[in-house]
Structure formats: C-alpha cells, structure tokens
Amino acid sequence: MIEVVIAAAVGAGTGVAGLVGYQRTRQINGKNQIERDLADAKTKASDIVLKAKDEALKIENERRKEWQKTENRLADRERTLDNKLEELDRRAEKLRTHEDEVDNLKNEIRDIRTRQQEKLEKIAGLKKKDAADKLMQMTERDIKQDLAGLVSKLQHDAMDDAEERAQMILVTAMERMSSEVTAERTVTAVKLTDDEMKGRIIGKEGRNIQALQRETGVDILVDDTPGMIVLSSFDPVRRQVARLSLEMLMKDGRIHPARIEEVVAKAKKQIDKEVRQAGEDAMRETGVVGIPKEMLLLLGELKFRTSFGQNVLKHSTEMAQIAGMIAEEIGADVRITKIATLLHDVGKAVTHKIEGKHHHIGAELARKYGMDERIVHAIEAHHDDIEATTPEAIIVRVCDAASAARPGARNVSAENFAERMRDLENVATSFEGIDKAYAISAGREVRVIVKPQSIDDLSAIKLARDIATKIESTMQYPGTIKVNVIRETRAIEFAK
C-alpha cells in the first residue's frame, strides 16, 4: 500500500514538471514572435517615412518652381509700372509747361481786349454797359412786332391743336356714354287720398302731426296746397323718410302716435337700405371697386340731392363714365379717375351738417377714411380755388364742367342768366384801356374791344390772360368762357 502511494506521488511530480517546461517553451516562442513582429513593423514604418519624405520633397520643389514663376511675373509687372510712371511724369511735365504757355497767352489776349475796348469806348464815346443797353433797346424795338406776331401764332396754333384734340376726346366719350338728359327732382310733396285723411294725419289737437314732425325732423305743411301735404327740411334723407312714412300710414289707415313711431322706424330702415343699394348700384354701374363703406353710404345719399335741378348721383355717375373714357385716351390712371369723379360731390351729402365748401368736405372725408391721396386731391381740386396738379384732377374738373353744361342738365332762371351776363361784362370792363365788352353765345364768350392807342399787341395778349384769370377767380359758371380781345387801328385820310 505504501509503495502504491509513493509511486503515485512520483508520477504526479513528473507530470507537474513536464507541464511547467511546456509553458516555459511557449513563453519563449511567443516572445521571439513578438520581437520578429516589432522588427517587421519598424522596417515598414521606416519605408513609409522615407516615401513621405520623398513626396514632401517633390511637392516642395514644385511649389518653389511656382513661387519662382510668380516672383518673375511680379518683377516684370513692377518694371512695367515703373516705365509707365516715368512716362506719366514726363507727360505731366509737358502739361505743366503747356499750361504755363496757355496762361501767358490768356493774359496777353486779355490785355489786348482791354486795350481794344478802351479804344472803342474812346472812339464811340460810350461805356460798355451803355453800349449794351443801347444795342438791347435797338434790338427790342426791331423785333417787338415780329415777336408779337410769333407769340400770337404759336399761341393760336397750340390752342387750335389742343382744342381740336380735347374736342375729339370729349365727343368720343360722350358718344359712347348714353345718359338721361332731363334731371330728377327730389319729391317734397305727398298727395292725399281725400280730405278726411288730412284730418286724420293732423289728429286730435294736432297730436299725430306733432308726433310725425318730432320723429322725422321735417316740417309738415298741410293747409298750403289743396289735396297735398308739403314736406320741408334741409335734409333730403329726412324728407324721404317723412314721405315714405306718410304713404305707409295712409295705406295702413291706423294713424296714432305709437303707430307713427313704429312706421317711421321702419321707413328709416328702408331708406337706409335704399341708400346703400343706390351707392352699390352706382359703383357697379361705373365699374369701380375699393370704395370704403362709409363713403359708399354718403354716395348713396346723393340720390336724394339735387343741384340746379340736376340729380347729384346721376351727375356723378355720368361723370365717372365719361372720365374713365378720357383717362384711358390720355394715359391717366383710369381707376383713380373714376373713383375720384364718382365721389367728387360726396361732400354735398353732409353740407347741412358740416360747414365749408362741399369739395373741401369731400376731400377731408376721403382722407379720413384712408383713400389714395391722388383721389383726395382730385376731389378737392375740382373747383377753381385749388390748383389741379395731376391729370386725374384735371379730368375730374373737365368732366364736371361738361356734365353741368350739357343742354338740359341744369335749370337756370332768366334772372340768374341775365345777372351772370352783366357780371361777365363788368369783369371785362374793369381793366384799363377797354372801350367796350359784350357777353355773347349764352355767356360762353366775351368780346373785349380795346383802345388801340392804349393797348398794343403784346399788351392785348396779356390783357386776355388777365381777364380770364379774374373771371376764373370771381365768377361761378359751367363749362368754359372764351375771352376774345380785339384791337383795331383805323387809318383815315381824305383825298382833296
């Protein structure tokens, strides 16, 4: 048993010793392999470094060659610039020499001219300024007559051409525009169905008519016209409300203060709707868009206003259509022109509420509601107190005169017509040198006969312009007035 244990122990020791030897052998072999790999890596690294150095040397050589070329080019350019600078210096020196010579020549010429002028003044016995004045007077005397003829010819040619072209444009626009000739009038009277209705409208102790006047703000005159009730108010919209309320009350038959209040409220809504509809119809008829709602309502109110018997809304609509055609012909802004023309009299809708001239009020309203400044200017300048500075404003002014002056557009009494003729002649005769003045062609022309010994040809041209300017600034008239100044010189001699 003991021998067996010893033998096992001996065998185990031998195995351990063999295992230790094997591991030592593997370690030695691995170390050698690592050393060989390191040697190979060093060899490869050396090769890579050598190749990189070779490449760097090649690149450096190429760059040095390029730098050398660049230096050579810069050196050539520097030499060229130096040569040019030297050439410029030589030219500058020559120019300075020439300038000195020119200055010397100028001084010599100035001295010669001064000596010649002194000799001429001594010979003529006149100073330079006196001689120039005398020469100017002689020239002016010689060419005055020719200048008057030339000015007159040019003025007549320009007026003929402008008048012919303007007539063609206006006639073409009017031919394309078809409008009513007679104008509407605002209805201010309501016909009664019978005499009993008059008493019902007045009511017990006048309660009904007082309630109606209080609600509408209109004076109601019952006894002035038989079978009619006359409505009187400065506000045309109120008159329409009162007229519609009366018609509704007479048709319904129930007339008492409570019913009157209800009917007037209903009539106001209906008139407001009619006003809005009238503005929209006018805008649609003229083909314009972009008008503010507030301005559109004021435009609709013009349906109930008249000026010299001419319905203002119809007048504005007619003008807008004619103005659009004229603007298209002359190259103006058609949209601006049509909107300004349509709204040019919108201030008349509030003249009973706001003090001032209607064109100034209309311009302020347009400016208040943010409209284009060109539209504002055209509205404000369609009368003569403000100068029209844009083509659109001039078109509005021309169309306003054309629409108001066409036959049947306005109702003017004989007394007003005769007064306007007298005023026109008085304006003409207020100038000095006038012999006679006659207003003819229904006030479209004033013929002024001057005294030939007081007014020459040039003064006659100026006189015509002065008379026209005074007429524009002092009179109100439709259309245009032709000022015709006539100067006649009669030479009379007797043969004996």
**pLDDT band of 185, cuts 50, 70, 90:** very low
Judge whether 450 and 433 are in contact, CB under 8 Å.
Answer: yes
**What DSSP string runs through 84-121?**
HHHHHHHHHHHHHHHHHHHHHHHHHHHHHHHHHHHHHH
d(CA 184, CA 130): 72
Q: Average pLDDT for residues 78-86, to the nearest whole number? A: 90
Q: Model confidence over 104-152: pLDDT tens digits?
A: 889 889 888 888 777 777 776 667 677 777 767 777 766 766 667 777 7
pLDDT at position 182 is: 39
- What tokens were used for 344? 């040019």
Whether the per-residue pLDDT at 282 is higher than 70: the answer is: yes
The pLDDT tens digits for 473-489 are 888 776 678 899 988 87
Which CATH number goes with the domain that contains 260? 3.30.1370.10
- 270 lies in some domain: yes
Q: Which of 56-70, 302-316, 409-423 has the lowest mean pLDDT?
A: 409-423
User: What does R_g of the chain's alpha carbons equal in angstroms?
Assistant: 52
Question: Which of 5-19, 155-169, 239-253 is least confident?
Answer: 5-19
Using DSSP's 3-state secondary structure scheme, residue 483 falls into: strand
Which pLDDT score is estimated for 31? Answer: 80
- Same domain membership, residue 403 and residue 359: yes
Q: What is the mean pLDDT of residues 239-262?
A: 84
Say yes or no to pLDDT of 187 above 60.
no
Which range scores top for mean pLDDT: 80-84, 174-178, 196-200, 204-208?
80-84
Picking from 416, 411, 413, 479, the residue whose alpha carbon sits closest to that of residue 184 is 411
Q: Tell me: do 264 and 302 sit in the same domain.
A: no
Interval 65-76 mean pLDDT:
90
Q: ∠ CA 3-6-12 to the nearest 5 degrees?
A: 140
- Is 296 a residue whose pLDDT tops 70? yes
What span, in angstroms and rounded, lies between the C-alpha atoms of 215 and 232? Answer: 14
Q: Which of 281, 287, 286, 284 is nearest to 300 (CA)?
A: 281
195, 234: one domain: yes
pLDDT tens per residue, range 22-66 = 677 777 877 888 888 888 888 888 889 888 888 888 898 888 888
In a domain, 106, yes or no: no
Between 95-99, 122-126, 293-297, 460-464, the lowest mean confidence (pLDDT) is in 122-126
- Looking at the structure, tell me whether residues 250 and 310 fall in a common domain: no
Same domain, 348 and 371: yes
- What's the average model confidence in pLDDT over 82-111? 89
Alpha helices in 343-411 (DSSP H): 358-368, 373-380, 391-405
**Structural domain count of the chain:** 3
Q: Is residue 176 part of a domain?
A: no
| Mean pLDDT of all residues in 455-478 | 86
Residues 292 and 407 in one domain: yes
Note the pLDDT tens digit of each residue in 343-376: 888 888 876 677 778 888 888 988 888 888 999 9
Highest-confidence range of 57-66, 183-192, 226-235, 245-254, by mean pLDDT?
Answer: 57-66
Could you give phi then psi for residue 439, rounded to 5 degrees?
A: -90, 120
392 and 318 together in one domain:
yes
CB within 8 Å of 479: residues ≥ 6 apart: 401, 402, 404, 405, 444
Q: Is 21 inside any structural domain? A: no
**Same domain for 261 and 324?**
no
Neighbours of 332 (CB within 10 A): 20
Q: Residue 461 domain-assigned?
A: yes
**Residue 413 DSSP label:** -
Give the pLDDT of residue 186.
40
Whether 92 maps to a domain, the answer reads: no
Helix H or strand E encompassing 190 = strand 189-191
Write down which residue in 379, 411, 443 finishes a domain: 411
Q: What is the DSSP string of 205-262?
A: GGHHHHHHHHHH--EEE-SSSTTEEEEE-S-HHHHHHHHHHHHHHHHH---SHHHHHH
The amino acid at residue 451 is: K
From 202, 205, 200, 197, select the one nearest 220 (Cα to Cα): 202
pLDDT reported for residue 327? 86
Counting every residue written for the chain, the total comes to: 496
Q: What per-residue confidence (pLDDT) applies to 415?
A: 55
What range defines the domain where residue 247 resides? 181-274
In a domain, 123, yes or no: no
% of the chain surpassing 90 pLDDT = 1
CA distances from 82 to 36, 79, 150, 250, 308 (A): 69, 5, 65, 112, 90
List CB contacts of 430: < 8 A, sequence separation 6 or more.
470
Residue 228 to residue 408: CA distance in whole angstroms = 28
- Element containing residue 420 per DSSP (H, E): helix 414-429
pLDDT at 220 over 50: yes
- Among 6-15, 217-226, 264-273, the range scoring the smallest mean pLDDT is 6-15
The answer, yes or no, to whether residue 267 has pLDDT greater than 60, is: yes
Residues 393 and 455 in one domain: no
Nearest to 241 by CA among 217, 223, 258, 259: 217
Least confident of 10-19, 196-205, 287-296, 323-332: 10-19
317 plus 397 within the same structural domain: yes
Q: Looking at the predicted structure, is the pLDDT value of residue 79 above 60?
A: yes
Residue 183 has pLDDT above 50, yes or no: no
Q: Check which CATH number belongs to the domain holding 320 and give it.
A: 1.10.3210.10
How far from the centroid of its chain's Cα atoms is residue 304's Cα?
31
| Contacts of residue 454, Cβ cutoff 8 Å, sequence gap at least 6 | 432, 433
For residues 136 and 67, the model is more confident at 67
Q: How far apart are CA 115 and CA 121, in angstroms?
A: 10
Residue found by looking up tokens 């010599």 in the block: 108
Confidence band, pLDDT 50/70/90 cuts, at residue 161: low
SS3 408: coil
CATH code for the domain in which residue 476 is found? 3.30.300.20
Residue 407 predicted with pLDDT over 60: no
Strand pairing class (228-232; 189-191)? antiparallel
Instruction: Pull the structure tokens for residue 437.
Output: 């003045």
| Euclidean distance between CA atoms 177 and 171, whole angstroms | 10
Region for 206 from its dihedrals, namely left if φ exceeds 0, alpha if ψ lies in -120 to 50, beta otherwise: left
pTM of the entire structure? 0.48
The distance in angstroms from the start CA to the end CA of the chain is 204
For the residues 286-291, what does the mean pLDDT come to?
84
Is the pLDDT at 412 greater than 80? The verdict is: no
